[in-house]
Amino acid sequence: MKNLVEAFPLNMKEALQIAKDSEWKASNEQFRNIVISGLGGSGIGGTIVSQLIAGEIDVPVVVNKTYGIPNLVNEHTLFVASSYSGNTEETLEAVHEAIAKGATIACLTSGGKLLEIAKENGYNYIEMPGGLPPRAAFGYSSTLLFRLLGNYGFVSAQVLTDLASTPALIGEHIEEIKKAGLSLANKLAGKRPVFYTDARMEGVAIRYRQQLNENSKMLSWHNVLPEMNHNELVGWAEDQPEIVPVFLRTKNDYYRTQERMEFSKELMISRKANCVEISADFDSDIHAAYYLISIGDWASVDLADIKGIDATEVDVITELKTKLSNI
């Protein structure tokens, strides 16, 4: 898995070339909403990308992570189906329902049934390289989702420019990223992590949580500010020495939210928690998000090493899929 994490910026760079070489049909449809449907490692890209373009897009974006589709899907919907394997049963069910509703379909996949559907129906699609665990394909899937949405006019030239420069930026900072990842792993070993971000960066916190779940075989949770200041903060009424709160911060976090983070952190420290802060000091939210994600990815595989476990193994998910296939 470490080799796959190491390849992250290279995957992004290759994805940019794949997007450049892809042939997509233009659309004259005036879309009224976008639905991005995907789960797990195939779905996290939708969560993160939708948040990173939220400040400039003028139609609602819904990230769908279940069977079926929202009722708002109709002939004015751009429906993006994202399944790395192409065989995610929830996503396949959703895309069939979206087709029945007359939505415009676009697909992100490496193969499977979803690719067959795209080719048979002449839908726009991007075919990613296969053979990876879906969570390790994030460099491909998120980059290509940006470019796919850009094809329909929903991503600005500045965002695409920032995206294109991200692989080089990660390369420039790779040693500090690895160092920060290892430092975080050592602080989380034997503890219970909780990740906090500004609400606009929640997808990054979710990525941390999911990577620890799958790579480190570790439970954790996340929350966002200011929301957690209206509920979870009260839960810090007792000493919590076993919990490590990790604040993931960016230069563009709202100034009042930054003050809330400082207050929350001080309270947690007073409750014996060993707080960690990781900052991404970049003007671009794209750069900040991918920088933070890279640190989290490295931390998750370093934790697996510390625990002496196989970061790649996800047998329990395979067991569940096998059971469901017999129903």
The larger pLDDT score, comparing residue 11 to residue 28, is at 11
Pick the CATH number of 2-165 from 3.40.50.10490, 3.65.10.10, 3.40.50.300, 3.40.50.970: 3.40.50.10490
Mean pLDDT of the 290-316 span: 96
pLDDT per residue over 174-190, tens digit each? 999 999 999 999 999 99
Nearest to 35 by CA among 106, 125, 113: 106
Torsion of CA 115, 118, 120, 124, to 10 degrees: -130
Distance CA 178, CA 132 (A): 22
The domain ranges of the chain are 2-165, 173-307
Q: What is the pLDDT of residue 274?
A: 96
Q: Which two tokens stand for residue 3?
A: 């080799």
Report the SS3 class of residue 15. Answer: helix
Q: What is the pLDDT of residue 89?
A: 95
Residue 245's pLDDT band (cuts 50, 70, 90):
very high
pTM above 0.85, yes or no: yes
Distance CA 248, CA 202 (A): 10
Catalytic residue numbers read 214, 230, 321
Is it the case that residue 55 has pLDDT exceeding 90? yes
Domain 2-165 and domain 173-307 have a common topology:
yes
Distance CA 276, CA 278 (A): 7
Residue 22's pLDDT band (cuts 50, 70, 90):
confident
Please return the burial class of 322, using the count of CB atoms within 10 Å of its CB with bins 0-12, 13-18 and 19+: exposed
Q: Say which CATH architecture domain 173-307 belongs to.
A: 3-Layer(aba) Sandwich (3.40)
Is it the case that residue 318 has pLDDT exceeding 90? no
Instruction: Please state the length of the chain.
Output: 327
Q: Do β-strands 243-250 and 276-280 pair in parallel, antiparallel, or remain unpaired?
A: parallel
